[in-house]
Amino acid sequence: MAYLQSMPKSETIRIREKHVGAACQLFFRSSPLKIVRGIAQYMYDETGERYLDCINNVAHVGHCHPHVVEAGRNQMSLISTNNRYLHDELVILAERLVKTLPEPLSVCFFVNSGSEANDLALRLARIHTKNKDVITLDHAYHGHLTSMIDVSPYKFNLPGGPEKPEWVHVAPVPDVYRGKYVYPNDSVNEEELGKLYANEVGKICKESKSKNGGVCAFIAESLQSCGGQIIPPEGYFKEVYQHVREADGVCIADEVQVGFGRVGTHMWAFETQDVIPDIVTMGKPMGNGHPVAAVITTPEIAKSFADTGVEYFNTYGGNPVSCAIANAVLDVIEEERLMERAHRVGNHLLSRCEQLKHKHSLVGDVRGKGLFVGVELVTDRETRTPATAEAKHVVNRMREEKILISRDGPDSNVLKFKPPMVFSTQDADRLVDTLDRVLAELDGTRTSIKLQVLVTPLEETNDASISASVQQSIKSM
């Protein structure tokens, strides 16, 4: 069944190319998808074709969940105003979120996006510590605002990216598969690896303390997603937080991607490392697609901010509609026991992906927690050389099989799975069975595939021929 659309796909593309900034890139650029409807873990294009969505961690409780839609619709029909008026949805949301967090994280600020949340977190850290030096991890991404690009090597390290400011210090990402210190390694165990990586942050802290009087903040995702689905070694954050606090800095946990129960065992991914941050930022899944985000901190840090006497006003942050939606998302997480589900289905997905490692030499590493899983492809397991072209091919082939996955990491060779939390074991089986087939196609034909992919990139084409190739692909649909 095709769905009612206001214009044909070719026209959508034509107008987009004419009036939308080219820096806003599409998935599958040479043959983009036009998605017109979603339900649970599925998305539908304009022809009615159904895709299994394995990457949309924003549609946390499932695309267009009726309870969330209803909450938004109801509140829209009543009032949407700003947080200078009292409203129950806002205070209920604040109280519910705080209940999920360890003490002393108890003061909320509501904003509209992950970028805004991290920007405010940095502002709080600056005001509280009066220091300037910020430590970030290599390949990290924390948002699109100017202040966030400054602390996002994922962006500023790109060829056309801006220069890294002198107050930003980049520590190695604790990637125990292809990072500075790797595992397995005869001389160290996992905990020692955590220490080695944490010492890298410690060195920066000591230098900052002696040169500039101290650190402002350490900001990191609790599990690095944009950097390639990285699971830090045990004990890493505990050591890091100690170093940062000894240098008078605050610790910011970016939970924008990995929060709200995705890891299965805990509501917040930092809890898997048994640490308590000074500031937590959250967004994406919080509104299931509606823009709502938050910063939660300690009374002490919030007081430093209030003591400046400068009002914090955010026109849309904490509006009743956003808060009603976020409350509805929390309802669904609880009522449908989605955290437990992430644990159960995630373990199944992870173990099925592990099996692929025994079948396909391309699969170098499989890692994950809950419904946050990465499969790293390498051309050689000894050298751990990234299989970038192969990963690109796999993403495109999976799309042909109506399964949407993506790839990430500094070499774009890590297949990334972070589906809506309503993902089932059957979905996991379909994903892995199909991936198994696609990888089997690649076994033995790697050289020719590599050449073909490099010559005609489907997923990423950024040249003037887009229009023509898109028209071509539409004709063939």
| Contacting residues toward ligand PMP, per CB under 6 A | 113-115, 118, 141-144, 221, 225-226, 254, 256-257, 283-284
**Closest-CA residue to 329 (of 43, 69, 55, 38):** 69
Closer Cβ to ligand PMP, 61 or 220, answer by number: 220
Closer Cβ to ligand PMP, 151 or 453, answer by number: 151
Strand partners, 403: 52
Closer Cβ to ligand PMP, 55 or 363, answer by number: 55
Strand partners, 376: 365, 414
Closer Cβ to ligand PMP, 168 or 442, answer by number: 168
**Cβ 173 vs Cβ 179: under 8 Å:** yes
In sequence order, the 6+-apart residues with CB closer than 8 A to the CB of 181 are 188, 193, 196, 197
Q: Residue 276 CB, nearest distance to ligand PMP (Å)? A: 19
Q: Nearest-CB residue to ligand PMP?
A: 114
Q: Residue 142 CB, nearest distance to ligand PMP (Å)? A: 5
**Closest-CA residue to 292 (of 284, 302, 303):** 284
Is omega for the bond preceding 104 within 30 degrees of 0, making it cis? yes
Distances (CA, A) of 322 to 87, 283, 393: 12, 12, 39
Q: Residue 145 CB, nearest distance to ligand PMP (Å)? A: 8
**Closest-CA residue to 253 (of 157, 357, 137):** 137
Closer Cβ to ligand PMP, 109 or 141, answer by number: 141
Whole-angstrom distance between the N-terminal and C-terminal Cα of the chain? 15
Closer Cβ to ligand PMP, 62 or 114, answer by number: 114
Strand partners, 168: 134
Closer Cβ to ligand PMP, 117 or 216, answer by number: 117
Between helix 388-400 and helix 425-442 the angle, nearest 10°, is 120
Whole-number Å distance between alpha carbons of 273 and 2: 47
Closer Cβ to ligand PMP, 45 or 116, answer by number: 116
Closer Cβ to ligand PMP, 140 or 438, answer by number: 140
In sequence order, the 6+-apart residues with CB closer than 8 A to the CB of 422 are 40, 41, 61, 62, 336, 338, 341
Closer Cβ to ligand PMP, 24 or 464, answer by number: 24
- Could you give the angle at the alpha carbon of 439 between the alpha carbons of 433 and 444, nearest 5°? 145
Q: Residue 291 CB, nearest distance to ligand PMP (Å)? A: 7
Whole-number Å distance between alpha carbons of 201 and 196: 9
